[in-house]
Amino acid sequence: MSQQGEKPAAHEDDWWRKLYDETAPDTGPSSAPDSLDDRFDSVSDTVSEAVETELEPLPEVRPDPRTAWDPYREQAPPSEDSEPAPEPKPVPVATQAAVPGPRNTVFPAPWEAPAGPPGPRTFAVPKPPEPEPPPEPVAAGPTTPDPVAPHELPPDWAASDAPADGGGGPRPFVDHLGDRPPTYDAEPAALPAATSENLDALVPDTVLDGARYGTYTLRAASVRGDSARFRGEPRRDALLTARFGAAESALVLVAVAGGVRGGEGAHLAAADACRWIGGAVARSHARLSEDIRAGRRADLKSGLHRLTDRTYGKLRARAAELGMEPGEYTTSLRCLLLSADPDCRTRVFFGVGSGGLFRLRDGLWQDLEPVIPEQSASSSGAGGVSEEGPDGDRLTMDLQITTPPSPYSDGPAPPPAELFRFRASVARPGDTLLLCSNGFAEPMRDEPELPDELAERWGPPGPPGLPAFLADTQLRIKGYADDRTCAAVWEA
């Protein structure tokens, strides 16, 4: 009975019983073959038709394997004694059977390898081109070299003989000047000591820079001395090259600072001086550039003197912060101001401390160091002002009374301040202006061989390239092993 209470008919119960009766045996697998090969054969028999052909077997002709490798090979013409080739017999046309017969041929499965030994695989390749005949010899005569073709260097060529990339001709290799070689090696030996706290205070062994504005070319370099390289001390000199402004009103500053010898933070004081004077010039570069182009010498001297005093005031304040004496944390400072205006050839120098300012004109060096009047001594026995008049009369009487110290003096008297140096000059075409620290100025004044060698190298051919300029500044002389920092300006 169904869920609705209906009684099914008898034939419906019979069909249900045959289909779901538990006593009915399982159907099981079919007795007919049902593999993948059997299905493939069945499909092949269905779609193909039996063909009965009666073909006469042909003689097996194997082609020459060399013909496949040489498609351009020409066939040899038949000779007269050779017999003519037999004509091929016609192949009978296959007759189609009316009723397909049983299939006796067994085809291999698609995934099975083909039966029989594999034949050789050949590929056709193009015929190699014939070699070109050698060019005919050309008669000897004047030839014009091809500027594009690479040229061979002579076997005795050296890097020191290579011409500078900026001009100036070849640079001869010079190990040192003078009869005796220097004490120290020419290359760096030891690096300065470093810790995790002084990494920002490290300075490189060498600094090289250059530029070109208006009618002049600038080259600048700072190199650690041979003595510092041997002992592993930092480079005490500092170099700053900077441009402020743009176009014709731009102003180029070159600052060279030399730290005191033996000072613990000499290289830091030199770097601070360059950074502080650079910041002061940057803030006033518009006015300074206008004064240089207008030739206001008095305004330039007073303004630059004030900026320099502020820089040294910061150095003294920094020394007090570090708990050092002002003389221990100080430096010499020398600067050049160059206008980028092509019509302005005024070159301004200012600074404090030791160093040098030279000019190469017409093959001769000129010392342009500003003359500073010597300070008079306070006592008569130290070269003070004479107490006698022109006629020998004594103007005053020395009572030999010791002057008591001032009650307002708090500690020892400060050392006398360095005098401010200033010079403004007009450059001529062909001039070379050299600004340098004391380590380079001393051999320039005391050793004639160095200025003579530089005059030959920096002559009329033009300014040297950066590598050649660096090599020129490292001309070694025995007895001069301090840091060398210099900046040279070539006038077009």
Q: Read off the pLDDT of residues 333-384 as tens digits, 9 standing for 90 and up.
A: 999 999 999 999 999 999 999 999 999 999 999 999 887 765 433 333 333 3
Compute the average pLDDT of residues 415-439: 89
* 409: pLDDT strictly greater than 60: no
* Mean pLDDT of the region 392-417: 46
The residue with greater pLDDT, 135 or 190, is 190
322-338 average pLDDT score: 93
Q: Which has more confidence, 176 or 475?
A: 475
Q: What is the 3-state secondary structure (H, E, C) of the chain?
A: CCCCCCCCCHHHHHHHHHHHCCCCCCCCCCCCCCCHHHHHHHHHHHHCCCEECCCCCCCCCCCCHHHHHCCCCCCCCCCCCCCCCCCCCCCCCCEECCCCCCCCCCCCCCCCCCCCCCCCCCCCCCCCCCCCCCCCCCCCCCCCCCCCCCCCCCCCCCHHHCECCCCCCECCCCCEECCCCCCCCCCCCCCCCCCCCCHHHCCCCEEEEEEEECCEEEEEEEECCHHHHHHCCCCCEEEEEEEECCHHHCEEEEEEEEECCCCCCHHHHHHHHHHHHHHHHHHCHHHHHHHHHHCCHHHHHHHHHHHHHHHHHHHHHHHHHCCCCCCCCCEEEEEEEEECCCCCCEEEEEEECCCEEEEEECCEEEECCCCCCCCCCCCHHHCCCCCECCCCCECCCCCCCCCCCCCCCCCCCCCCCCCEEEEEEECCCCCEEEEECHHHHHHHHHCCHHHHHHHHHCCCCCCCCHHHHHHHHCCEECCECCCEEEEEEEEC
Q: What is the pLDDT of residue 39?
A: 81
Band (pLDDT 50/70/90 cuts) for residue 95 is: very low
Residue 50 pLDDT > 70: no
Of 179-188, 325-334, 435-444, the one with minimum mean pLDDT is 179-188
**Which pLDDT value is given to residue 299?**
95
Position 301 scores a pLDDT of 95
